[in-house]
Amino acid sequence: MSLEVIDVSGLATIQDSGRIGWRKFGVPTSGPMDRFAFNAANILAGNTPDHAAIEIGLGDIAFRALQDCVISVAGVGYGLSVYIWDFPLWSSYYVRAGWTIRLNKLNSGMWTYLAVAGGVLSQSILDSRSTYLRGHLGGRDGRQLQAGDVLKSGISSHPLTELAARTLPEDARPEYSDNLTLDVILGPQEKYFTEESIEKFLSSEYTMSRTSDRMGYRLEGRQLTHRNKSELISEGMTMGAIQIPSSGQPIVMMADSPTTGGYPKIGTVASADLPLLAQCVPEKSKIRFQATTVAKAQQKYRKLMSGLERIVEE
């Protein structure tokens, strides 16, 4: 089964669960910006989260189905139409050969995932199909998708008719919003900041800059002050880590985060809240931070991910 990209104005890349095991060599993980929506799309299509799907952001995309297939779409900020019908996201659909699938960008949200039963196939680089644009690795020749690309899918282990018309109920999804309070685990370098700055960080409102990308989200708000040093000797970091460079404005590392960095990290966004952050709209969403503990954050993440088991047949 295959899909042909017939039109694309957004940033569309092939992503799987990420390039695991190569970070010590300096290779970023990549993978989806919103892991929850990505996993949901895969599971709705009868795949495991290890399968590759298409991530679309910033603009529109349209496909033509070259054979009958089952697709699923999950995410925020997109309208879906299949053939002549408009359909809701967070569901799977049977698509006949020749039909057109359109994902049109709406005013809210950022990223949406289209999965195909059997998973999107592409060359696997360092054990992963995820696209790392800066390194020109993975996905379709290390680049974003363009019109004319034909994406083949694998063979699903389920009959297609069993996979269509499944949905993930709204109360099992993250509470996406344009007005967010994100849980943060403070540290490891909270001592690099004045107490007043930590207080400021936890009490003021941030917006996201337009210069944000898959590597990092740049936030704008009240300036934070380092106690004395604004650099440390480089150490490992991860998605969600909040670096404060000398400008005093936070940068939250995202899916294509460099593996190491040398700016002090005031904290890290809880895994359960990363999907909410990922879907923020530049210059629109309002972001606040509140301190939590690792134990609470892990509990919240387990609860969120268990929501993926609540897929129902319609």
Which member of 24, 84, 309, 314 binds another protein (CB under 8 A)? Answer: 24
In sequence order, the 6+-apart residues with CB closer than 8 A to the CB of 299 are none
Q: Which stretch binds another protein (CB under 8 A): 24-32, 37-45, 72-80, 100-108?
A: 24-32
Give the whole-angstrom CA distance, residue 88 versus residue 79.
7
Q: Is 240 in the site for another protein (CB under 8 A)?
A: yes
Q: Between 22 and 83, whose beta carbon lies closer to another protein?
A: 22
Which member of 269, 277, 278, 311 binds another protein (CB under 8 A)? Answer: 269
Q: Which two tokens stand for residue 208?
A: 């996201």
Q: Which stretch binds another protein (CB under 8 A): 20-28, 81-89, 106-114, 213-221?
A: 20-28
CA-based nearest residue to 47, from 58, 55, 39: 39
Q: Between 20 and 66, whose beta carbon lies closer to another protein?
A: 20
Which member of 187, 203, 223, 247 binds another protein (CB under 8 A)? Answer: 187
Residue 299, SS3? helix
Q: Is 301 in the site for another protein (CB under 8 A)?
A: yes
Q: Contacts with another protein in 113-142 (CB under 8 A)?
A: 125-126, 135, 137
Q: Which residues pair with 179 in a beta bridge?
A: 286
Q: Contacts with another protein in 58-117 (CB under 8 A)?
A: none
Which member of 236, 290, 310, 313 binds another protein (CB under 8 A)? Answer: 236
Number of residues that bind another protein (CB under 8 A): 38
Give the whole-angstrom CA distance, residue 238 versus residue 183.
16
Tell me the H-state helices in the chain: 35-44, 160-163, 195-203, 274-278, 294-306
Residue 169, preceding bond cis, omega within 30 degrees?
A: no
Q: Between 172 and 185, whose beta carbon lies closer to another protein?
A: 185
Q: What is the largest CA-CA distance in the chain?
A: 63
Q: Between 46 and 261, whose beta carbon lies closer to another protein?
A: 261
Which member of 147, 150, 294, 312 binds another protein (CB under 8 A)? Answer: 294
Which member of 17, 23, 31, 192 binds another protein (CB under 8 A)? Answer: 23
Q: Is 50 in the site for another protein (CB under 8 A)?
A: no
Give the whole-angstrom CA distance, residue 52 versus residue 139.
9
Q: Between 153 and 243, whose beta carbon lies closer to another protein?
A: 243
- In eight-state DSSP terms, residue 79 is E
The 204-223 contact track toward another protein, x by CB under 8 A, reads --------------------
Asked if residue 70 lies in contact with residue 93, where contact means CB atoms within 8 angstroms, the answer is yes
Q: How far is CA 182 from CA 44, 74, 107, 118, 277, in A?
A: 27, 22, 21, 35, 8
Q: Between 95 and 172, whose beta carbon lies closer to another protein?
A: 172
Which member of 48, 234, 247, 290 binds another protein (CB under 8 A)? Answer: 234
Q: Is 291 in the site for another protein (CB under 8 A)?
A: no
Asked if residue 270 lies in contact with residue 300, where contact means CB atoms within 8 angstroms, the answer is yes
In sequence order, the 6+-apart residues with CB closer than 8 A to the CB of 35 are 17, 274, 275
Q: Between 163 and 278, whose beta carbon lies closer to another protein?
A: 278
Asked if residue 45 lies in contact with residue 163, where contact means CB atoms within 8 angstroms, the answer is yes
Q: Which residues here bind another protein, judged by CB under 8 A? A: 20-27, 125-126, 135, 137, 185, 187-188, 233-238, 240-241, 258-260, 265, 268-271, 294-295, 297-298, 301-302, 305
